[in-house]
Structure formats: structure tokens, C-alpha cells
Amino acid sequence: MVYLGYRRAQVAHPLDGLGYLATRDASRAISGAQFCSTMFEGRAPAGHVSISCYVGGARNPELAQLPASDMAHLVHEELSGVLGIKGAPVLTRVRHWARGLPQYNLGHLERRNTLESANDRVPGLILTGNYLHGVSIANCLASARAAAEKAHRLLQERDTPSHQDARPAQKPAGSSRPGRIRRLLRGT
């Protein structure tokens, strides 16, 4: 990921959107860019703009291996053509993410069903994350909430008298770690 800052006057494009996604094109390195200073306040000082660019991923994994200086140069050159930028960036940051986002390939639904039914095979194992229902933050929050609710239901079921009767005698509530965790989840 290459994060670039420019003086506003350097960039001809109005940056009046969230950014852009590039089509598959062997001549392009940038797969997408976000106009961070348009999207959020405080992402660039007055009179400046900031842009995040994505390189590599499943399409071009080898590009993600480039040294930071080469990657920054490549991205700045390409972005200059797309957005009409004159001159060098005033700020450059490169961050390598070793593992890209999960790819939802053929067979994903079967894999997801297997993962989501893990609790049937290993009681108490409940999975969440960007490899299940989508990679966006919104998807991940929804997935995490569903997992938390599942865990809550599971603990409630274990707490019901009929379920407890079927189990061997336990230490009094409060003395065991599961008891403390249950109370924390209940907020009591």
C-alpha cells in the first residue's frame, strides 16, 4: 500500500469522489486508490491532499514484493498520469501487507458452511473474520456480532437448569474461569 501526500495545487483532478478501482490491465500497477483527504477530515493539512494506492493483491502478487522505493516511484508515476499531478509527492509512506485479502473463490460457500458449523464438532469453537461473509469492515462487524450472539446463546443454553442437570457437578459459580467469563458476557 502506498500512501502519498501532495500540495492541492499539484493535483489537477478535483478528487471529488472516494477514489477509483482500476480494470484488469497489465500496464497498470495500481489496482485501486482512495482519496483519503476527501473521505475523512484530518487526513492532510490545509492545502494538501492524501491518496492511498493499492498494489499487488491476487492480480499482481509479484508487484507487492517490490522494494518500498521502487513501489512508491511506480505508483507516483502512474497516479500522476491518472490524476494530472505535477511534481514529486511531499509525503510518501509504503506499507507491505504480507498476506492479501481472502479470495472468495469457487467452493467458498461449502468452505464457509464447514467453518460455521465448527461448533457442532468442537463445542465452543465459533469463528469470525473477513474470510466468511465479506472483507469490508461493515461485513466484519456483522460477522463478529453474529459470532458474539452465537456465543451468548451457547452460554445461556449451558446455564439453563435442564442442561446443567445433564452435566456432572461443577464448582460453585464464580470460582471457575467459565463462570467469570459468563458473568462478563452477561454484564453482571
List of residues contacting ligand FAD (CB under 6 A): 1, 97, 101, 129-130, 135-137, 140
Closer by beta carbon to ligand FAD, 20 or else 158: 20
Closer by beta carbon to ligand FAD, 129 or else 179: 129
For residue 16, the minimal CB distance to ligand FAD (Å) is 18
- One-letter amino acid identity for 5? G
For residue 136, the minimal CB distance to ligand FAD (Å) is 3
For residue 131, the minimal CB distance to ligand FAD (Å) is 7
Closer by beta carbon to ligand FAD, 10 or else 37: 37
Instruction: Give the C-alpha separation, 46 to 14, whole Å.
Output: 15
Q: How many CA atoms lie within 13 A of 164 on its CB side?
A: 10
Ordered alpha helix ranges (H), the chain: 36-39, 68-83, 108-116, 118-121, 137-159, 161-165, 177-186
For residue 113, the minimal CB distance to ligand FAD (Å) is 18
Helix (H) or strand (E) run with residue 53 in it:
strand 48-55
In 10 A of CB 161, how many CB atoms? Answer: 7
For residue 2, the minimal CB distance to ligand FAD (Å) is 11
Closer by beta carbon to ligand FAD, 1 or else 74: 1
Closer by beta carbon to ligand FAD, 114 or else 136: 136
DSSP letter string over 73-126?
Answer: HHHHHHHHHHHTB-S--SEEEE---SS-PPP--TTHHHHHHHHHTHHHHSTT--
